[in-house]
């Protein structure tokens, strides 16, 4: 088993990464000094696959779990679902020492984390991420929240879990498209922080796509280490944490103009990162062979790297970028790469340069 520490003083916690972890959920929770009552929040696809194993393990360790199942997909990240969770927690008398287990992808993690952050002004929670994206990204770092009609993640809290358990076996049932979308975040860590990780991905991509635990385990652990390090330096995103948004300004805008439908998040940020790499060549001197390697890796991972936009869509894209909550004083700032493994943030870019980068194939 690999263990990654997230260093946040009193709120520090561990991320454990290995196959066959779900059956150990109860025993792992035992060590956290939690109350007996708990709620496993999961979704309609993940629940039938893994909720029984989770509750069995919790019961065996002396806990008394309740299962709350929310719909699968982004629409579950709503205040209406939060309300339904609160009602069930209250009806089942969960109290201050009770805890929540988030069993699912990033949607369940963000939702259940927000419920945990706010029910009774905060009860402990444990993340059991079941998508690649959730294992390398959303379950680490303590951002929780839900969407409003006006936009994604507009209501939320910084609230750290007490433990993260990444069971590699849960990824076996993940649809290939979702797995590839998670790889877009994995590749991102190589670009923003770790040239050796990027090289390893270039070499081991076929084995990774085959979900081999011996390859997957170290890669996921490295991604978690990187995120933990960045979050440890900057928990609430006043500086270095912004580098995690490489490719995300364009990616989020693409998601928004396609009404969160056409592209998965990982697909949108694949296009965004390739565009950011091209902009980096032009404006920051990223060597062109580095940009070519970045494009090739996303392509080999089966991810889209370009997008064709009508002029109406282009207008909508820039409007969406200006609405992104990372914008300050109306100015869109970008994270760009100097080389693979090193990025800088706070770059201002002309619209024309962005359009050009999106259009090149």
Active site residues: 121, 143, 185, 227, 237, 241, 245, 248, 252, 265
Give yes or no for residue 46 binding ligand NAD (CB under 6 A).
yes
Cα 359 to Cα 263: distance, rounded to the nearest angstrom: 17
Give yes or no for residue 247 binding ligand NAD (CB under 6 A).
no
| Nearest-approach distance from CB 42 to ligand NAD, in angstroms | 9
Q: What is the DSSP letter of 47?
A: I
CA distance to 18, 205, 222, 297, per residue, from 212 (Å) = 12, 11, 16, 19
Binding to ligand NAD (CB under 6 A) within 172-231 occurs at 173-174, 178
Binding to ligand NAD (CB under 6 A) within 162-181 occurs at 170, 173-174, 178
Give yes or no for residue 290 binding ligand NAD (CB under 6 A).
no
Cα 171 to Cα 167: distance, rounded to the nearest angstrom: 8
Bridge partners, residue 213, by sequence: none
User: Helix crossing, 288-300 with 195-209: angle to 10°?
Assistant: 20
| Count of residues making up the chain | 361
| Nearest-approach distance from CB 10 to ligand NAD, in angstroms | 21
Cα 153 to Cα 144: distance, rounded to the nearest angstrom: 8
Give yes or no for residue 116 binding ligand NAD (CB under 6 A).
no
Residue choice 57, 81, 138, 243 for contact with ligand NAD (CB under 6 A): 138
Element (H, E) at 267: helix 265-284
Cα 152 to Cα 77: distance, rounded to the nearest angstrom: 9
3-class DSSP state of 235: coil
Residue choice 153, 199, 338, 347 for contact with ligand NAD (CB under 6 A): 153
Q: Are 113 and 125 in contact (CB under 8 A)?
A: yes
Cα 249 to Cα 218: distance, rounded to the nearest angstrom: 29
Segment lying near ligand NAD (by CB under 6 A), choices 72-80, 81-89, 287-295, 319-327: 72-80
| Nearest-approach distance from CB 337 to ligand NAD, in angstroms | 20
| Nearest-approach distance from CB 39 to ligand NAD, in angstroms | 18
Tell me the per-residue interface mask from 85 to 114 with ligand NAD, x by CB under 6 A, - otherwise.
-------------------xxxxx-x----
The site for ligand NAD (CB under 6 A) is made up of: 43, 45-46, 49, 72-74, 77, 104-108, 110, 130-131, 133-134, 137-138, 141, 143, 152-153, 170, 173-174, 178, 265
């Amino acid at each position: 088993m690999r263990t990654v520490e997230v260093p946040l003083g009193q709120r520090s916690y561990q991320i454990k990464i290995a196959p066959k972890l779900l059956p150990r959920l109860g025993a792992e929770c035992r060590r956290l000094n939690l109350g007996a009552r708990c709620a496993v929040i999961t979704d309609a696809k993940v629940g039938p696959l893994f909720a029984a194993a989770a509750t069995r393990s919790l019961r065996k360790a002396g806990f008394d779990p309740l299962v709350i199942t929310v719909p699968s997909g982004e629409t579950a990240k709503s205040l209406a679902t939060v309300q339904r969770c609160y009602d069930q927690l209250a009806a089942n008398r969960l109290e201050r020492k009770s805890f929540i287990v988030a069993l699912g992808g990033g949607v369940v993690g963000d939702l259940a984390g927000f419920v945990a952050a706010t029910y009774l002004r905060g009860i402990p929670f444990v993340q059991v991420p079941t998508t690649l994206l959730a294992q390398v990204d959303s379950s680490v770092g303590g951002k929780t929240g839900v969407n409003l009609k006006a936009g994604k993640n507009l209501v939320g809290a910084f609230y750290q879990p007490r433990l993260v358990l990444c069971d590699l076996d849960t990824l076996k049932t993940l649809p290939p498209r979702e797995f590839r979308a998670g790889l877009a975040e994995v590749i991102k860590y190589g670009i923003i922080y770790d040239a050796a990780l990027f090289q390893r991905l270039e070499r081991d991509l076929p084995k990774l796509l085959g979900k081999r635990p011996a390859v997957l385990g170290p890669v996921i652990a490295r991604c978690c280490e990187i995120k933990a390090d960045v979050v440890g330096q900057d928990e609430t995103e006043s500086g270095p944490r912004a580098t995690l948004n490489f490719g995300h300004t364009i990616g989020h805008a693409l998601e928004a103009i396609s009404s969160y439908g056409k592209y998965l998040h990982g697909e949108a940020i694949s296009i965004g990162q390739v565009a950011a790499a091209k902009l980096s060549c032009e404006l920051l001197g990223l060597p062109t062979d580095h940009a070519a390697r970045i494009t090739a890796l996303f392509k080999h991972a089966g991810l889209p790297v370009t997008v064709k936009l009508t002029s109406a869509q282009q207008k909508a894209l820039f409007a969406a970028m200006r609405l992104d909550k990372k914008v300050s004083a109306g100015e869109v700032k970008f994270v760009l790469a100097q080389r693979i493994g090193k990025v800088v943030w706070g770059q201002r870019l002309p619209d024309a340069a962005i359009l050009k980068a999106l259009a090149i194939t």
